[in-house]
Chain A
Amino acid sequence: MSVLQHKNTLDSAAIRAQFPILGEKVHDRPLVFLDSAASAQKPVAVIDAMANTMRTQYANIHRGLHWMSERTTEAYEGVRDLVAAFLNAPSRNEIVFTRNSTEAINLVAHSFGALLKPGQAVVISEMEHHANLVPWQMLRDRAGIELRIAPITDAGDLDLEALQTLLADGKVGLVAVTHMSNVLGTVTPAKAIADMAHAAGAQVLFDGSQSVVHRKTDVQALGADFYTFTGHKLYGPTGIGVLWARKELLDAMPPFMGGGDMISTVTFERSTWANVPHKFEAGTPAIIETIALGAAITWVESIGMDAIAAHEAYLTAYALNRLQDVPGLNIVGQPQDRGGVISFTMADVHPHDIATLLDRNGIAIRAGHHCAEPLMRRLGLTATARASFGLYTVKEEIDVLADTLVRIRDFFV
């Protein structure tokens, strides 16, 4: 249990003071927020960035000829640089702003999917969020693409041997898998997956919605071709997500949506497209949210992704330890490498009853199928309860969770 002896590297009191909502009470109890994997709370830096944009430097971007527009464009485009550095992307022009990770994956399914030929295949895994499943089913149904599902092991790891088998016929054009499961917490071996995909002639997409929050992300070191994440899980606002893709892929892909800002010239006969990334950003984007995403990235980087990862590894190990002592509690999945997401069930108590009673005691968790119904079926479950951690989570909150779970169990059994 070396991780448990790890000294807490974050100044949790100072960090928590940056999140006004953590001072709120729920049902007259202090809020214990253990649902950050669904959406994270927002620090003052992000709240202020949104408000200050609207108060002091807001206008539409890219096409204005006035000072306010130019200044807002600079702030907006500056975030592209921040995101590129955050992902260690080779070029700022490979950063496409979307509404969320779901939209980023839909963009790839639509535009990269248009380059795939009938008979080619896309591989996803058994532990995908619906966001990385349904767009591929839609592509399959409209374009004659085969959809293959890479199984997971009983422990909740991606079965790499099975993936290898699925790649063997050389028909796979894309492997699209999660970088960290929102249900099991599994961190997938991205580099190994990328190497396997490339050896079989396929591109690889990682859904980084969960993982970018918890660890340093380097798309080049991972060998990724596409990488997606969403702002609201990274302590930023809703309505802003990111697609990173290699430039030659973006250049080859047709646009996703048509409209203003994504064109070069327009006549009634035809239009030509703007260069990447603008080709994929039709219409007025989420200007305020994008600027605030920049504030979120600057803020988490000021704390340091390595320090955040160490803190969450400690919390996760501590929570696994504490939850094991709750009578009747079963932790779902024992993956080799995991992040701060723990799903569990409890004998004789349904996850929704757990969630309701935790809520009445001020503790916010998620219960249900977590937008991963096929994974639930694979696990032989209909629902789990899920506690997930953020950089503001503290050990004392896990104690409150574990103690309350014991009392819930006593109440029902």
Chain B
Amino acid sequence: MTQVLDGSALYDQLIVARSRTPLFAGRLEQAEKVGNGKNPLCGDKTRVELALDHNHISQVRHQTRGCAICLAAADLMAERILGLSPDQALKVGQRFSALLVEDTVPATHEGEFEENAALGPLMAFAPLRAHRSRIRCAELPWVALKEALSHDDV
């Protein structure tokens, strides 16, 4: 029997590292926007807290109880959306979702947000495309973000 662990490519080193040592875990002292995500199938849950400064996300924290993919997705989401406007953050979320579920990742269009909509380290989740049962794990923090941004100020 081979000693190679198949499927480890699903778990990019960045995902393993961030699940083990998240950089954005915790609570904000004064959160302006809060959103929650829960996956009833597995019980994973995440709470995303945001602070805004002049319509830009100035601070992000998440409290996540879940698998490595969910934890890393929350942490890398927090990193990616820091400094973006809410609209820009949601646009990154749309592209992230497309990365996971669409047959081809949509090409970058011309436009003022395009640079900010680049996925960057979130590309680490691309192999999940072949593992549909786990896509919801990576999307959960974005569900929470969407909820946070759809609320009026807390």
Contacts and interface: CB of A to CB of B under 8 A. Distances in A.
A407 interface: yes
Contacts of A407: 3, 5
B7 to A, nearest CB: 2
Interface string B1-25: 1010111101100001000100000
B66 A350 contact: yes
Given A352-B69, A357-B10, A359-B7, 4 more contacts: A351-B67, A353-B69, A410-B5, A412-B20
B154 interface: no
A119 to B, nearest CB: 33
A361 B7 contact: yes
A361 B43 contact: no
Interface residues of A, number: 29
A17 interface: no
Contacts, number: 67
A341 B20 CA distance: 30
B65 interface: yes
B27 interface: no
Interface of B: 1, 3, 5-8, 10-11, 16, 20, 41-44, 65-69, 131, 133-134, 137
Which of A27, A360, A362 has the most chain B CB within a 10 Å cutoff?
A360
B42 A357 contact: no
A361 B6 CA distance: 6
B20 A357 contact: no
Contact of B7 (A348, A350, A357, A376): A357
A270 to B, nearest CB: 44
Contacts of A412: 16, 20, 68
Interface of A: 27, 29, 348-353, 356-357, 359-362, 367-369, 373, 376, 382-383, 400, 403-404, 407-408, 410-412
17 contacts: A350-B66, A352-B42, A352-B69, A352-B137, A353-B11, A353-B67, A356-B7, A360-B6, A361-B6, A368-B43, A369-B43, A382-B42, A383-B43, A408-B5, A411-B8, A411-B11, A412-B20
Q: Which of B6, B11, B133 has the most CB of A within 10 A?
A: B6
A407 B8 CA distance: 10
Nearest to B68: A353
Contact of B41 (A368, A403, A404): A368
A172 B69 CA distance: 46
A369 B11 contact: no
Contacts of B133: 356
Given A350-B66, A411-B16, A357 B8 contact: yes
